[in-house]
Amino acid sequence: MPLPPLVELLSSARVVALPLRTRFRGIEVREAMLFEGPAGWTEFSPFVEYDDAEAASWLSAAIDFGWRELPVPLRTRIPVNATIPGVAADEVAGILARYPGCRTAKVKVAGGDVSLTDDVARVAAVREALGPEGRIRVDANGNWNVDEAEHAAHALEPFDLEYIEQPCATVEELVELRRRVRYMSIPVAADESVRRAEDPLAVAEAGAADLLVIKAQPLGGIKTALQIVGRAGLPVVVSSAIDTSVGLSMGAFLAASIPELEYDCGLGTAELLAADVTTEPLSVTDGAIDVRRVVPDAALLDQHAASPERRDWWLARLKAVYAYL
């Protein structure tokens, strides 16, 4: 389908700056652009450091969600994981309390200023809080080399990991790490090697991962992501990119359209935000979020509007990325 006219996107565009509860992914405020299409509100929120080429997939996803028909959802609720940033171990219980009913926790590890000893203490605190039946996955965001990742796998093995997400940056490193840790039966998941790769299927074709973490915006939208899932032939976890509840709804509809959803999804991240754009956010209840469209609240859009300078930056970005598409 052709792109909607740029003027149509600009006519309803709103830029917000939402504070986070805890510093996450190196940021304390999440900026996002929202606009309304004939199918409903949608989100364009590539991270500020991404260039036009990378941001183009995010705009394609926003247009797909706001202007085109969605696949018929197969479920109305999506089980989700709690997300534990790189905090001290004594903060873990308080963060888990924001995720009522969640049986799975994703723990950030391998932060630049945090040691493996700190990571182990954080994961141990999560295991103590969840009990033996809880599931724990850790996410290194590609910050380890192979030797570091192997060492970390040994240190974290006693906590019965569900999987290690993006332990190393490259496909080649993931292949080597899987070979080294196979005897420990710790699965390896790929995230950045899918969403930031020229070929998102390369990691599956190389045998570099046991499962894939997919996100609707970076992969160009729900339909494109579903095609990748079908061709990869691996189990998947649908996750988010610190979206507003509008963006999370896109992820929820993606998860709802996958025939076999074996893992809890990383779509409970509205809890990371100290503010949202709606009075009815996609919050976690009984360990899951609803699959539904989200309509922003006008007062909240005004309250959390980005500064005029940041709004102009995002409008210029939208025009540049639209021209790229």
Q: Where are the domains of the chain?
A: 6-70+302-324, 77-298
Q: Which among 277, 304, 311 is positioned nearest to 36, based on CA atoms?
A: 277
Interatomic CA distance for residues 185 and 180, integer angstroms: 10
Q: Give the model's pLDDT for residue 20.
A: 95
**Residues of the binding site for Mg(2+):** 139, 165, 191
Strands (E), 186-231: 188-190, 211-215
Place of tokens 């639209």: 322
Look up the pTM and report it: 0.95
Question: Within 137-215, where are the H helices?
Answer: 146-156, 171-181, 192-195, 202-205
Interatomic CA distance for residues 46 and 316, integer angstroms: 14
For residue 123, the Cα-to-chain-centroid distance in whole angstroms is 20
**Residues of the binding site:** 139, 165, 191
Q: Give the model's pLDDT for residue 26.
A: 79
Interatomic CA distance for residues 11 and 9, integer angstroms: 6
Q: Give the model's pLDDT for residue 241.
A: 87
Contact criterion met (CB below 8 Å) for 128 and 93: no
Q: Give the model's pLDDT for residue 199.
A: 87
Angle among Cα 192, 230, 107 to the nearest 5 degrees reads: 35
What is the domain class of 77-298 according to CATH?
alpha beta
Longest dimension (CA), the chain: 56
For residue 166, the Cα-to-chain-centroid distance in whole angstroms is 13
Q: Give the model's pLDDT for residue 114.
A: 82
Q: What is the mean pLDDT of each run of 10 residues along the chain (325 residues)?
A: 94 97 86 98 96 96 97 96 95 96 97 90 98 97 96 97 96 96 94 86 94 96 95 96 96 97 96 96 97 98 98 98 97
- Enumerate the active-site residues: 108, 215
Alpha-carbon dihedral 231, 237, 243, 247, rounded to 10 degrees = 50
What is the domain class of 6-70+302-324 according to CATH?
alpha beta
Interatomic CA distance for residues 287 and 236, integer angstroms: 18
Q: Give the model's pLDDT for residue 39.
A: 97
Mind giving me the DSSP string for 220-276? TSHHHHHHHHHHH-S-EEEE-SS--HHHHHHHHHHHHT-S---S-BB--GGGGBS--
